[in-house]
Structure 1
């Protein structure tokens, strides 16, 4: 799918995310800039809010934004996607490689996307994702409200009757994606992040720790064990300053 700019005539490719619930087959579509993990996570979160609840499990395809190492008995889930699932209280079961039945429903949702959404948008031009997604949502809602083939109910009616109450309640806050950095604890018992210093207990001097941070906090872990948390401070040091003069304390 493309964003088509009316003034210049330029086309910018975008990806389209598709999600479906297994019983009612109620479907959610959203155009996103790319398959990067932040866009995948945001689209999954938007799908949960569209459905009004959280399923027990997410079954993603094996794209790297969700699955670091596919296949085998225990595929490795991307850390950020795993943190997202943990925030929403669900588990991740990636579709098995070369097992098309694992994702048959969403493959059908993709076919419906072409037939019931794309076909209704032929010739339309959109200058931004918001306008494009408003149009996609209009046709998504129509699809979910229309009677299903050989059924006397719609996807939405089926969802409200048998599936909605089985979803878990949405958490009070949305997921905040966090960045990671590996650092070595210096001899003065501090680690550096973006030219700011954060203290660590002295017994970890010389050890490698992992910093998990967002716009507000910096959490520090040693071998997966949380050891301290600081308020994030992006004030950089100048070369003339000593670390001990401006530090985030324990």
Structure 2
């Protein structure tokens, strides 16, 4: 008689208990009829010794699963355990595992491997979650600005698509945003985009938080940053103060950083535009139809409703816009004049041979010390 596997044997016995013919059992299971007959004979002689089956039998008792094996408990201790106090002190000094291993070998007679120290240090080093303070701003107090990347746009005169620069200005209180894409940025373009944002919001904030990009900040400094002269003149014209964020501190302007990511992922993802104007129209439609109507997660208010309340707190706009200029340093000639584009302009009372600052506007020139 062939010896069947436990599952095959259980299947045969179950079918026999159901009075299934041996020929049918052989057809269902694929087991030879002689083998089925042998097991039938054994089952008739001693039914109590036959294996029980869980499938379909009315007399089957519920099976109790075996208990889970006990968890493995490591009985071996690390060679670094005796140096725990020293290692914890070094970790508080922000030293890495390599430096700690070297000191253990040199000063404490450590004979283990570096990997043991690395594993021990990894177990001791608990990284505390970084804490961020939630700040609240009064209406009309702060506006955050930054650049990002727009969606691919057809370059005029070619069949090539390129991503323009995406300018975004966000009022910190209401989260209302102004978005524009431009092909190129410059000192004047950067300042003009701020002007457009002020006109779009219908007023000016108290100060603007910006990144330390060259269009805005020539020399970063925590207390006295050197601003681009065109940008500084534009802010002075509108009565706004610049507050550049610290270098490598994007969290200071996290609102506009998040707004750029939200714009790229929601409004522009997967889209292409045939012109800059088409992309700007799409961004304006998306802002007024969707972004401004959303309920802000932390404030639990509609962005547009908060903006309507904030609008009255914005500073009034001047009657005239900013008059842009280019500037350079000129030397006062012996006739007390400076030369600008083959023309001479009086620079008195500046001394002959001295350096003066010349600002060239569209219709006039300013000469400054």
Per the TM superposition, whether the score is higher than 0.5 is yes
Note if contact 2:332-2:350 (Cα within 8 Å) is conserved in structure 1: no
1:138–1:200 CA distance, 2 compared to 1 (3 A): same
Which whole-Å CA distance do the structure 2 matches of 1:6 and 1:173 have between them? Answer: 32
CA–CA distance in structure 2, aligned partners of residues 96 and 88 of structure 1: 24
Unaligned runs of 5+ in 1: 223-250
Deviations 1:65-105 (A, max 9, x none): 00111133322111111111001101000011132321111
Q: How far does residue 202 in structure 1 lie from its aligned partner after superposition?
A: 5.4
Which of 193, 217, 226 is residue 43 of structure 1 equivalent to?
193
Structure 2: gaps spanning 5 or more residues: 1-149
Q: CA deviation at 1:132?
A: 2.2
Higher helix share: 2
> Alignment partner for residue 23 of structure 1, among 173, 187, 209?
173
Q: Assess if the C-alpha contact under 8 Å between 1:6 and 1:125 holds in 2.
A: no
Aligned residue for 2:288? 141
The residue aligned with 1:82 is 232
Deviation at 1:9, TM superposition (A): 2.6
1:85-126 CA-to-partner distances (Å, cap 9, x unmatched) read 00110100001113232111111111211233213xx44432
The offset of 1:42, in angstroms, is 1.3
Corresponding residue number in structure 2 for 1:158: 306
Aligned-residue Cα RMSD (Å) equals 2.0
Q: 1:184 to 1:15 in 2, by over 3 A?
A: same
Assess, with a 3 A threshold, how the Cα gap between structure 1 residues 219 and 102 changes in structure 2: closer, same or farther: same
**For the Cα contact (< 8 Å) 1:32–1:43, is it kept in 2?**
no
Please name the residue that 1:200 is paired with: 347
Q: Which structure is larger by alpha-carbon Rg, 1 or 2?
A: 2
Structure 2: how far apart are the matches of 1:28 and 1:107?
A: 13
Per-residue CA deviations over 1:145-184 (Å, capped at 9, x if unaligned) read: 32324465321111112x1111101111111211112111
Which of 240, 247, 267 aligns to 1:97? It is 247
Equivalent residue, structure 1, for 2:337: 190
Size of the alignment, in residue pairs?
218
Of structures 1 and 2, the one scoring higher in RCO (CA 8 A, sep 6+) is: 1
Structure 1 residue runs of 4 or more that deviate by more than 4 Å after TM superposition? 5-8, 149-152
User: For 1:3, which of 153, 164, 172 is the aligned residue?
Assistant: 153
- Structure with the higher strand share, 1 or 2: 1
